Every structure is written in C-alpha cells, then in structure tokens.
Structure 1
C-alpha cells in the first residue's frame, strides 16, 4: 500500500479465491476508485508499490513471460526476472 501527497491510496491485491491474478487499485482520499489494473499471475506478480515525490506510481514485481504492463509489452530476457514500472497517474482514466 502507498499514499501520495494528494491523499490517494494505491494498493495491490491477490485474488485469494483463485490466485490467478494480482491487481492494483487506486482510491481517492474519500475511498472512491479512480483506477485499477490486473496482472495475470501466470505471467507475473506485483511485489511493491511506492509514489515518487511528483506523484508517479512505481510498481515492482516479477515477470514469468511476456506481459502487457498497462500499455507497454515486456518480454523477460530470462525466466523469471524482476520489473519496475512507472505509471503516470495524471493521465489515468477510470476503467
């Protein structure tokens, strides 16, 4: 879980029923969902979240195959390998 200077909260979850995927949720200061994304567990997992001072959400995790990291296709050079993604939330839209 991480918070930014505006009071938004980002957290990562794993589907405990199926264990098939990790997701990231972003909530505003009043608990309303602003944004969410899912990462297929067969291809990777989310391990840590942090905001930079400028409000960029940093996501660290592990890749086990080619995945779409929210608009950027990534293929590991070895299996598995770590990743670090920067998500600019200023242009994020609710989905």
Structure 2
C-alpha cells in the first residue's frame, strides 16, 4: 500500500494509528483533543502578556488618581475615565 502511495511504510502505520485513536479503537489523544490542547497552550502563553498590560494600566490609573483630591480637577477626572456627566445628569 505504501509503495502505491509513494510514501514510507511508517507513515501509513502512523496514519492508521491516528485513525484508530480518533475512532476510539485505540487509546491516545484524538486529533480534536490535540487541536484543543494546542489552542489552550497558545492562550496560556498569552496570559503573562495580558497580565503585564493590565498591571501597567492599573498602575497608570492609580497614579492618575493618587494624591490629594485638591490636585484633581473635575475635568482631569472626566478625561481619565473617558466620560463626564453634566450637573443636570447628576440630578
């Protein structure tokens, strides 16, 4: 069979084992489980980067609002949070 396909016999054996695992006839990690594991590993690898971004954002936000309230004008608070309410909206 392998010679007809022009591939090594070991390749055919691996393909057969993979089909058997996917069909549940043989123990092992199925193709879909393998794909899910790869996806999850990529996501886990991204988590430290996301955490660093969040830490930086939290530090920046905290620095913006640290210190006495007198230092902060209502306009600077509005700019920092990205929105302002008028006096009429507060009532």
Tell me which of the two structures has the higher relative contact order, counting C-alpha pairs closer than 8 angstroms and 6 or more residues apart.
1
Please state which structure has a larger fraction of its residues in strand: 1
Instruction: Identify whether the pair has TM-score above 0.5, normalized to the shorter chain.
Output: no
When Rg is computed on C-alpha atoms for both structures, the one with the higher figure is 2
